[in-house]
Amino acid sequence: MTARTRTSVRLRATLTATAVVAVALGGASAVLVGVLGGSLADSAAAEAQRRAAVTAELLAVRAVPGEPGWWVRSRRTSSCTRPGPRPGTRGSGLPDPAPTAPEPAAPVPAAPAPGVPMATAPPPSAPHPTTSTPGVQPFARTDHYAVASLPVVTADGQLVVQARASLHPAAAALDTLRAVLLPGIPALLLLVAALTWLAMGRALAPVSAIRRELADITATDLHRRVPVPEARDEVRLLAETTNRTLDRLEQAVGRHRRFVADAAHELRSPLAVLRTRLEIAPPQPLAAEALADVERIQRLTTDLLLLARLDAGEPPEHEEVDLGQITAEEAALARPRTHVRVDLAVAAGIVVHGSADGLRRLVANLADNAVRHATSTVTVRLAQRAGDAVLEVEDDGPGIPTEQQEAVFDRFARLDEARARDAGGSGLGLAIARDIAVHHGGTLAVAGGPPGALLRARIPGRGEPAGQ
């Protein structure tokens, strides 16, 4: 048996559901970490750009020192304007001197706002790598910061403002997310597995009930039906289909049993008349042979009637039967093979519940079978073991091959197809014996051989009535 056949549907469904959820959660977690990390990095870059823009705005408008008025150099144009006399300078009635170009002066850096980095001028030998000139990125990322650079034109010339924003909050947020996901995903998978196991158990409970009921149904109790669940699903359809199949099977078996019983019953009367005529006919060899054939047909019809009653499941009689007395009487009867000796080892006082006629037929069939195949001796033993009556019939014949020790209990079974039917019987003796034993709540099986054959029947004692 392979591992696949040993794995239940419940376990396979649980493993499959857990694997699917694990793949889904793993993919979703990876996407979530990636998207959140990118979003936090973009937020840090936007903050760095904002800081750079604020600083550039502060540096773009400045007064030009050294002149009686105040001058403003626009960040968009290179022209200088003089808006008017400053308070405390020459009066407005005097002619204004011609405007002259202001002398170049060293740029005085403005005090940066709190939290805003100071602008720095790039070295004259090489442009700054993060200015907005062609081919230069407006911002960049390092391992711990997002850096933004922005050029600005002031009275002192062109400057490059750099600002940065820390990436530590983004890293801390990602670490917190990972700390939640790493133990959370396995816990969620365990929860999914447990819920799936319980749900599949509830869903498959009706299937288990149907299986147990079918396992208990035999040919003698085809009237039983499997339970039908209340839920209107596929399991309910399975139960209803199974019950309809059992209905058809019960009807077919019933028709077969009635046919066998009717045929056997109808044969009894003409056979009895024919036997009477042969018995009163003048003695002739042909008449003697015909009488033997009629007797054999009568035994066959009697066996068929008994099988029909056993198959019909008629309840056994619950009378006390002295099995020791029945065994001794049946084993001592004369049989055709007179040279075969029958030895008895019967314990006294063994009483069972059941049918006296049925148990007598059980002992007679076992003894007849043993005498038919024995070489010289048959031993019949009856004892009580563990409260049960144990009947053993042993012969010293060739025995029953191991591979056929179960087939001998089939109806019309023959181990030697070449032997004559008269010598071999009808093939119903052991089948009837087993059915009688089962009908009384016991068993019958081959317990030994070859060489020789040992058949053992076990019947419950009188403390446990048959059929109860």
113-127, 159-173, 365-379, 402-416: the lowest-pLDDT one: 113-127
Tell me, what's the pLDDT at 439?
85
Whether residue 52 lies inside any domain: the answer is yes
User: Across the strands, what pairs with 379?
Assistant: 343, 394
- Of the pLDDT bands very low, low, confident and very high (cuts 50, 70, 90), residue 443 is very high
Residue 186 and residue 26 in contact, taking contact as beta carbons nearer than 8 Å: no
Strand pairing category for 377-385 and 341-346:
parallel
Residue 149 and residue 54 in contact, taking contact as beta carbons nearer than 8 Å: no
Q: Are residues 256 and 125 both part of a single domain? A: no
Tell me, what's the pLDDT at 137?
41
101 conformational bin, left if phi > 0, alpha if psi -120 to 50, beta if neither:
beta
Residue 171 and residue 182 in contact, taking contact as beta carbons nearer than 8 Å: no
Whether residue 89 lies inside any domain: the answer is no
Whether residue 92 lies inside any domain: the answer is no
Q: Are residues 308 and 327 both part of a single domain? A: no
Q: Are residues 141 and 27 both part of a single domain? A: yes
Report in angstroms the alpha-carbon separations of 65 from 68, 194, 364: 9, 80, 140
Q: Are residues 115 and 183 both part of a single domain? A: yes
Q: Are residues 192 and 270 both part of a single domain? A: no
Please report, in angstroms and rounded to a whole number, the separation of the first and last CA atoms in the chain.
38
150 or 426, greater pLDDT: 150
Q: Are residues 378 and 229 both part of a single domain? A: no
Tokens of 205: 């409970």
Q: Could you tell me what percent of the chain has a pLDDT over 90?
A: 14
Task: Assign residue 435 the CATH number of its domain.
Answer: 3.30.565.10
Whether residue 59 lies inside any domain: the answer is yes
- Of the pLDDT bands very low, low, confident and very high (cuts 50, 70, 90), residue 148 is confident
- Of the pLDDT bands very low, low, confident and very high (cuts 50, 70, 90), residue 389 is very high
110 or 316, greater pLDDT: 316
pLDDT 10s digits, 280-319: 888 888 888 888 888 888 888 888 777 777 776 666 667 8
Residue 435 and residue 307 in contact, taking contact as beta carbons nearer than 8 Å: yes
- Cis upstream peptide for 451 (omega within 30°): yes
Q: Are residues 385 and 429 both part of a single domain? A: yes
Q: What is the mean pLDDT of residues 170-190?
A: 89
10 or 157, greater pLDDT: 10
Tell me, what's the pLDDT at 20?
94
pLDDT 10s digits, 28-60: 999 998 999 889 888 988 888 888 888 888 877
Q: What is the mean pLDDT of residues 427-436?
A: 87
Tokens of 39: 């979003």
Tell me, what's the pLDDT at 256?
77
Tell me, what's the pLDDT at 378?
92
Full residue range of the structural domain in which residue 303 is found: 217-314
pLDDT 10s digits, 226-277: 888 888 888 889 889 989 998 898 888 778 778 877 777 787 788 888 888 8
Q: Measure the CA–CA gap between 462 and 318, rounded to whole angstroms.
A: 9
- Of the pLDDT bands very low, low, confident and very high (cuts 50, 70, 90), residue 363 is very high
- Among the candidates 185, 211, 237, a domain finishes at 211
Whether residue 93 lies inside any domain: the answer is no
Tell me, what's the pLDDT at 196?
92
Tell me, what's the pLDDT at 427?
78
Tell me, what's the pLDDT at 273?
84
Residue 121, pLDDT > 70, answer no
Q: Are residues 307 and 251 both part of a single domain? A: yes
Q: Measure the CA–CA gap between 374 and 455, rounded to whole angstroms.
A: 13
Tokens of 81: 């304007």
Q: Work out how many domains the chain is built from and give that number.
A: 3
- Among the candidates 186, 211, 236, a domain finishes at 211
Tell me, what's the pLDDT at 145?
84
Residue 398 and residue 451 in contact, taking contact as beta carbons nearer than 8 Å: yes
Q: Measure the CA–CA gap between 458 and 437, rounded to whole angstroms.
A: 7
DSSP secondary structure letter of residue 63: B
341-354 per-residue burial string, b: 16 or more CB within 10 A, e: under 16: ebeeebeeebebbb
Tell me, what's the pLDDT at 264?
73
- Among the candidates 283, 314, 345, a domain finishes at 314
Tell me, what's the pLDDT at 113?
38
Q: What is the mean pLDDT of residues 61-77?
A: 38
Whether residue 94 lies inside any domain: the answer is no
> Mean pLDDT, the chain, as a whole number?
75
Q: Are residues 453 and 334 both part of a single domain? A: yes
Q: Are residues 69 and 196 both part of a single domain? A: yes
